[in-house]
């Protein structure tokens, strides 16, 4: 439920002490916000703080704790939530030890969920990526931020007669289409330009009821202005962000500017804060708990990544 105050605990485990736990569960040093320290459990505390009637923001704190019994930890958890970028894969390369870890957890009856803030693909497209990497993962086990945007709109009964303006890529469009929502924008607006002449007035669709912003390689000034007009001038127009990540791992060669840079542009021009539906957000946690029948989610769900 959005707009509530809650506290959740989520742990990233790094066991090197148990022969039954694959080496993969030991985190490796990545260029951005992840760590490699043997026998350390990273304990993430998610604190949801009510901000408005339409959403919440989430604060995270991390602390390193010694991991004494990896098997005991695994046995105490029902659902493991894996980040994808930098945990399952980096770019198009599978990270060592992933197949063995997933097989081990499945053999012990654990539910697995794979989350990604990369909104360029739909759940179906991510399913194909998992398959290409040799991993058997169903669409129902995938929570992509592209899907999150459509799922959120469904959860609030967003009117089907209203339209969604998309600053983002194909993944968001596919998920909106599957959910039955009308949309405009996306890659189609990538080549559009604004010719600023004296007295020029840019028109926009007054029937847009939500602007969804995600990572967009074709981001331009036309999209900024169009999205800004919708949010500022259309009564009740929602401003939804798939994520506010500063960087993303598009390739294994370097970090790239993330979706947060696109979201920041719209936030700056509209002077509005977005409702974030990807990782981490109250919507994501509530959705996963509800769809995994895990009512006591704060104790039985753990996120790795």
- pLDDT of 71 reads 83
168 and 128 belong to one structural domain: no
Per-residue pLDDT of the chain (305 residues; tens, 9 = 90+): 333 323 333 333 333 334 344 444 443 333 333 322 223 233 333 333 333 333 444 444 444 445 567 788 888 888 899 999 889 998 888 999 999 999 999 999 999 999 999 999 999 999 999 999 999 999 999 999 999 999 999 999 999 999 999 999 999 999 999 999 999 999 999 999 999 999 999 999 999 999 999 999 999 999 999 999 999 999 999 999 999 999 987 777 888 999 999 999 999 999 999 999 999 899 998 998 888 665 555 445 555 66
Q: Which residues does the annotation mark as catalytic?
A: 78
- Sequence-distant (6+) residues with CB within 8 A of 46 are 7, 8, 9, 10, 58, 59, 60, 280, 285
- pLDDT of 248 reads 86
- pLDDT of 4 reads 33
Does 57 map to a domain? no
233 and 200 belong to one structural domain: yes
Does 48 map to a domain? no
Does 23 map to a domain? no
CATH number of the domain enclosing 129: 3.40.50.1000
Does 59 map to a domain? no
Q: Please tell me the total count of domains within the chain.
A: 2
Does 92 map to a domain? yes
77 and 166 belong to one structural domain: no
295 and 261 belong to one structural domain: no
Does 208 map to a domain? yes
- pLDDT of 289 reads 85
- pLDDT of 35 reads 28
- pLDDT of 269 reads 98
Structural domain of residue 105, as residue ranges? 70-145+283-300
Does 84 map to a domain? yes
Does 100 map to a domain? yes
- pLDDT of 72 reads 82
pTM (2 decimals)?
0.76
- pLDDT of 252 reads 74
93 and 178 belong to one structural domain: no
SS (H, E, C) the chain: CCCCCEEEEEEEEECCCCCCCCHHHCCCCCCCCCCCCCCEEEEEEEEEEEEECCEEEEEEEEEEEECCCHHHHHHCCCEEEEECECCCEECCEECCCHHHHHHHHHHCCCEEEEEECCCCCCHHHHHHHHHHCCCCCCHHHEEEHHHHHHHHHHHCCCCCCCEEEEECCHHHHHHHHHCCCEEEEHHHHCCCCCCCCCCCCCCCCCCEEEEEECCCCCCCHHHHHHHHHHHHHCCCCEEEECCCCCEECCCCCCCEECHHHHHHHHHHHHCCCCEECCCCCHHHHHHHHHHCCCCCHHHHEEEEC
């Amino acid at each position: 439920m959005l707009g509530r105050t809650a506290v959740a605990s989520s742990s990233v485990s790094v066991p090197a002490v148990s022969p039954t736990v694959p080496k993969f569960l030991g985190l490796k040093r990545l260029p951005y916000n992840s760590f490699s320290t043997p026998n350390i459990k990273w304990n993430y505390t998610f604190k949801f703080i009510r901000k408005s009637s339409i959403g919440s923001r989430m604060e995270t704190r991390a602390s390193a704790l010694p991991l004494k019994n990896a098997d005991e930890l695994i046995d105490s958890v029902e659902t493991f939530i894996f980040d994808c970028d930098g945990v399952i894969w980096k770019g198009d390369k599978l990270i060592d030890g992933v197949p063995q870890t997933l097989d081990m957890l499945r053999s012990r009856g654990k539910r697995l969920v794979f989350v990604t803030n990369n909104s360029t693909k739909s759940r179906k497209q991510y399913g194909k990526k998992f398959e290409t990497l040799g991993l058997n993962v169903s669409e129902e086990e995938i929570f992509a931020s592209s899907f999150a945007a459509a799922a959120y709109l469904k959860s609030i009964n967003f009117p089907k007669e209203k339209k969604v303006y998309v600053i983002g890529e194909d993944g968001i469009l596919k998920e909106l289409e599957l959910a039955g929502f009308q949309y405009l924008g996306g890659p189609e607006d990538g080549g559009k330009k604004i010719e600023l002449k004296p007295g020029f007035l840019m028109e926009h669709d007054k029937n847009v009821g939500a602007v969804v912003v995600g990572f967009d390689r074709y981001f331009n000034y036309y999209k900024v202005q169009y999205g800004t007009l919708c949010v500022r001038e259309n009564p009740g127009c929602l401003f939804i962000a798939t994520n506010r990540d500063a960087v993303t791992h598009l390739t294994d060669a370097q970090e790239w500017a993330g979706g947060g840079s696109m979201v920041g542009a719209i936030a700056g021009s509209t002077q509005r804060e977005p409702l974030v539906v990807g990782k981490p957000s109250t919507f994501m946690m509530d959705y996963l708990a509800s769809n995994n029948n895990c009512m006591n989610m704060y104790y039985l769900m753990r996120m790795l990544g």
